[in-house]
Structure 1
Amino acid sequence: MRQRQRKRDGLPASPWMAGVCLAVLCLEAAPAHAQSARPDTRKMTCEQAQDLVRKNGSLVMTTGPTTFDRFVADARYCMPQTRQVRAKFAPTSNNPDCAVGYRCYQNRRER
């Protein structure tokens, strides 16, 4: 039988444990603002949100205190799953129901 390695100098005994410790440290060290880096539709005008979708083609934006959605500029950004899009609305600073872009849509019968 293989004997367990012993801790030396307070370090983890195995490479696996060292990897786990490193992962935990990296997660704790991640900047708190990383979650807020996503564009927020509520902080821009309807026109600005639409322009951002057009320029990026596809992106995820915050739409409320605890919600987010993916918006696409057109059906090219939905392939290969589907080629259909439906209008996607979100609140903006000047319009509570702005047609920001589109969402990918797949008809259940065509799956």
Structure 2
Amino acid sequence: MNRIAVMLAFTLVATIALAQSRPSSVNRPCAASQQLVYSHGALVLGTGGYTYDRFVRDQSFCEFNEYTTPAYVPSLDTPQCFVGFRCKAGPRDLFGDD
């Protein structure tokens, strides 16, 4: 019984640690968020409060049926920081009226 309680406690601590590890764009300069996306290729970035999204470096990090759109987030030094792209589902809009 003690073994189960100890394993449950370790699992809970690990889950909390994973939830806290998401970086936030509002607490770092624009260049730092850009570098994170570029170096990882794809990551989930907090964008303020309880909001977050997945950002990618290029099309290769999206599914085959997705396309990329430019992604801007608030940062410590600018209200609109280009960090990379978001993957959007569906066919690309060829005429620009999205």
Please give the secondary structure, in 2, of the residue aligned with 1:30: helix
Structure 2 alignment gaps of length 5 or more: 94-98
RMSD of Structure 2 on Structure 1 (CA)? 2.7
Correspondence for 1:85 among 68, 76, 97: 68
Report what 1:95 is aligned to: 78
CA shift, 1:70, in A, is: 0.2
Decide whether aligned partners of structure 1 residues 92 and 109 sit closer, same or farther in structure 2, where only a CA change above 3 A counts.
closer
Pair member with larger Rg? 1
Report what 1:5 is aligned to: none
Report what 1:66 is aligned to: 50
Amino acid at match of 1:43: N
- TM-score (normalizing by structure 2): 0.74
Decide whether aligned partners of structure 1 residues 23 and 68 sit closer, same or farther in structure 2, where only a CA change above 3 A counts.
farther
Correspondence for 1:39 among 14, 23, 28: 23
Correspondence for 1:105 among 61, 85, 88: 88
- Identity among equivalent positions (%) equals 30
Amino acid at match of 1:67: T
Count of residues in correspondence between the two structures: 92
Decide whether aligned partners of structure 1 residues 92 and 58 sit closer, same or farther in structure 2, where only a CA change above 3 A counts.
same
- TM-score (normalizing by structure 1): 0.67
Q: How does 1:15-30 map to 2 (within 5 A)?
A: 24-30=8-14
Structure 1 alignment gaps of length 5 or more: 1-10, 12-18
* Bigger RCO (CA 8 Å, 6+ sep): 2
Instruction: Judge which range, 66-75 or 25-34, deviates more.
Output: 25-34
